[in-house]
Amino acid sequence: MLEGNSWWSSDQSRRDVLKYATGGTALVAGCLGGSSSTDRFRVFDPQSSGTLPSERHCNPFNPSQRGTWHPGALIFDRPAIHSPAEDEVYPLVATDWEMADDTALEFTFSDEWTWHNGDQLVADDWVMQLQMALAILEYQAEDGERPHQFIESAEAPDERTARINLHDPLSETVAVQNAIADFVGDESRGIFTKHDDDQWSEWHQQLREADDAEMESLLEEITSEGYQMLEDAVGNGPFQVADIGDNVMVFETYDDHPNADNINFSEYSLHLYENNNPTQPYANDEVDAAHTQFPVEDDVKSQLPGGHTLIKESFSTNKLFSFNCGHDVSYDTPLSSANVRKAVCHVFDRDQVKRVLEGVNRMFDWPSCRVPGNVLDSGSHEAAEWIQDFTEYGLNDTERAAELLEREGFERDGGEWYTPDGDRFEIDVLGGTKRKEFGVLKDNLNEFGIATNQEEVDDATLSERRQNGEFDIVPDGSSANGVRAMWALDLVPGWLQQITHFDPEAEIPMPVGDPEGSSGTKTIDVEEHIREWQITDDDQYHKELMWWWNQTVPQMETMYQPDAGAYNADNWELDAPDGIIDGTEDALYLIPKMDEASIEYTG
């Protein structure tokens, strides 16, 4: 078994001197230093008000009380870093990769990485983690179903080579992204398994040898065990565990890390507070940086440090209308027709929402297309050009809305709309009473002659009814962190199909950009189209998927909100490629790991 905390210099844990103070963390003078910034990089813990540090573990397969991301992604390194916003991959432990043949991807590992107990980090360590994840997926898969959509197996021909065997040919970029992604849990955050560790070796062997009768109890053990506990964790990143307190986690530089010479500060700490909003601790100089919750509203900006600087600016979250497309559900919804959904979207007047915008929300001022708003705003992807001919909704185009409804057999009488069956056209809105755009939509529909019925239920009921397709419109919010990331197979044909109930096989008018279909229609299978895009890397598939979204409108983007982090440049300088500092979720952990990036203390 691995030894934990062998680097502690004292028998007394500093937890004994960590005290909690209302609104912040107070450190006993003379023990851990005062509240002003030193050469310790102090970061707001995103899991504040969640799992206590002493209860966090570094088992990527156990979802409960997991510490594999915060702070695991700091003290463990990963083979390579994927920037979803830039759709790029940067080397880390793996210095190179190539397609050995059409269905085999090989990573070459550096020989400069060691575990914090001095043992060499080798390809077998990562391959063990992959093999365990694939074994878990295999047990969970239905008969005849692939455990992983792309990856068949993993092996380590030698200490520096990891070979990933694929089911089908893939482009190198997509193959790499899938290999370093999450499989079962938090595998993408680091290499957590050590191939010669007694516990990991035992579980690894049992997973590969167990029969179905043994797997259930084995998986229950593996996915519930807190191994290793954070305070005992032996990692392989640039910082190692020093002290784990109730409200502060302190990590010290690991001198044998390949990038240690580029780190000019000695400690990195994560600080917990009573809630998940870092603004006040950051403004009070209690922390130097935060992963998320920025930018802030205008009336708060004056409180921020003079050196306030944003990071992770390529990330955002969307707010959407989510429609019930009616496929394979028993609930009778008038929105089962794409033309009716489009009519509703045309009636919506987003200009009215602009007058009541709150916080840092921004209007989604483009045709619905499932591309992040900040990408369209910057024009950084050619999708910004593709959508010039797409149908734009939200303009209160009641004439077009009426035309589409009449095509579907709806009739207007005395200013009120009726269904083809002669019933009053009424739309049930489930939830969304706190969302300004829903109030605007209901007013727009009522003025147009469509009745609305507002229902408000608890979250559990809303989730159940959404899954069962017992609604017309519900609010939704989702991350929008990259062009390709928004079309993940487990997201669109998986999760979104389950909550919007769209038909996985659809006809789209052709050519792209012509809603009247002057060249007829094209039948596409959404999942297969996404898969072919990932296999071939041909943008035509992406363009047609965007067009499908625009013409089918299972959801309509209404607003988006930046999801940035921040740091105080008065005492710190962060330098990294844009794809890292603005295009990854955990840039504050990744920058000190990389040869081409740095966090420097300047105070």
Average pLDDT over residues 311-318: 94
pLDDT recorded at residue 358: 85
Residue 138 clears pLDDT 60, i.e. is over it: yes
Residue 28 clears pLDDT 80, i.e. is over it: no
Digit-coded pLDDT (tens) for 169-189:
998 999 999 999 999 999 999
Length of the chain as a residue count: 603
pLDDT recorded at residue 590: 98
Q: Give dist(CA 327, CA 337) in Å, integer.
A: 10
* 561: Cβ contacts below 8 Å, ≥ 6 apart: 316, 317, 319, 359, 360, 361, 362
Residue 151 clears pLDDT 60, i.e. is over it: yes
Domains of the chain: 14-54+232-314+566-601 (3.40.190.10), 80-222 (3.90.76.10), 316-562 (3.10.105.10)
Identify whether the C-beta of residue 133 lies closer than 8 Å to the C-beta of residue 187: yes
Q: Give dist(CA 167, CA 148) in Å, integer.
A: 9
pLDDT recorded at residue 5: 28
Digit-coded pLDDT (tens) for 246-255:
999 999 999 9
Residue 526 clears pLDDT 60, i.e. is over it: yes
pLDDT recorded at residue 525: 98
Q: Phi-psi region for residue 87, left (φ > 0), alpha (ψ -120 to 50) or beta?
A: left
Residue 30 clears pLDDT 70, i.e. is over it: no
**Burial zone of 593 (CB within 10 Å; 0-12 exposed, 13-18 middle, 19+ buried):** buried
Residue 394 clears pLDDT 80, i.e. is over it: yes
Identify whether the C-beta of residue 58 lies closer than 8 Å to the C-beta of residue 192: yes
Average pLDDT over residues 199-211: 97
Residue 35 clears pLDDT 60, i.e. is over it: no
**Band of pLDDT at residue 20, cut at 50, 70 and 90:** very low
Residue 225 clears pLDDT 50, i.e. is over it: yes
Partner residues linked to 44 by β-bridges: 271, 290
| Phi then psi dihedrals of residue 510, to 5 deg | -125, 150
Residue 597 clears pLDDT 90, i.e. is over it: yes
**Burial zone of 537 (CB within 10 Å; 0-12 exposed, 13-18 middle, 19+ buried):** middle
Average pLDDT over residues 317-328: 97
Mean of the per-residue pLDDT values for the chain?
A: 92
pTM here? 0.86
Pairing of strands 316-323, 598-601: unpaired
Q: Tokens for 241?
A: 């565990």
**Band of pLDDT at residue 10, cut at 50, 70 and 90:** very low
pLDDT recorded at residue 382: 94
Q: Where are the alpha helices (DSSP H) in 379-517?
A: 383-386, 398-407, 436-448, 459-468, 497-500
Measured CA to CA in angstroms, residue 542 lies from 164, 220, 383, 392 at distances of 26, 40, 9, 19
Q: Where are the alpha helices (DSSP H) in 45-196?
A: 72-75, 123-140, 172-179
pLDDT recorded at residue 38: 62
Q: Give dist(CA 126, CA 193) in Å, integer.
A: 7
Digit-coded pLDDT (tens) for 256-309:
999 999 999 999 999 999 899 999 999 999 999 999 999 999 889 999 999 999
pLDDT recorded at residue 16: 31
Residue 603 clears pLDDT 90, i.e. is over it: no
Digit-coded pLDDT (tens) for 343-377:
999 999 999 999 988 889 999 999 999 999 999 99
Identify whether the C-beta of residue 56 lies closer than 8 Å to the C-beta of residue 230: yes
Q: Give dist(CA 385, CA 382) in Å, integer.
A: 5
| Phi then psi dihedrals of residue 440, to 5 deg | -65, -45
Digit-coded pLDDT (tens) for 369-380:
999 999 999 898
Residue 88 clears pLDDT 80, i.e. is over it: yes
Digit-coded pLDDT (tens) for 116-136:
999 999 999 999 999 999 999
Query: Could you give the angle at the alpha carbon of 89 between the alpha carbons of 155 and 533, nearest 5°?
Result: 85
**Band of pLDDT at residue 490, cut at 50, 70 and 90:** confident
Average pLDDT over residues 10-28: 32
Q: Give dist(CA 495, CA 482) in Å, integer.
A: 17
Half-sphere exposure of 471 (CA within 13 A, CB side): 27
Kindly state the percentage of the chain with pLDDT values over 70: 94
Digit-coded pLDDT (tens) for 396-454:
999 999 999 999 999 999 999 999 999 999 999 999 999 999 999 999 999 999 999 99
Residue 7 clears pLDDT 50, i.e. is over it: no
Digit-coded pLDDT (tens) for 466-484:
999 999 999 999 999 899 9
Partner residues linked to 270 by β-bridges: 43, 249
Q: Give dist(CA 542, CA 381) in Å, integer.
A: 12
Residue 21 clears pLDDT 50, i.e. is over it: no
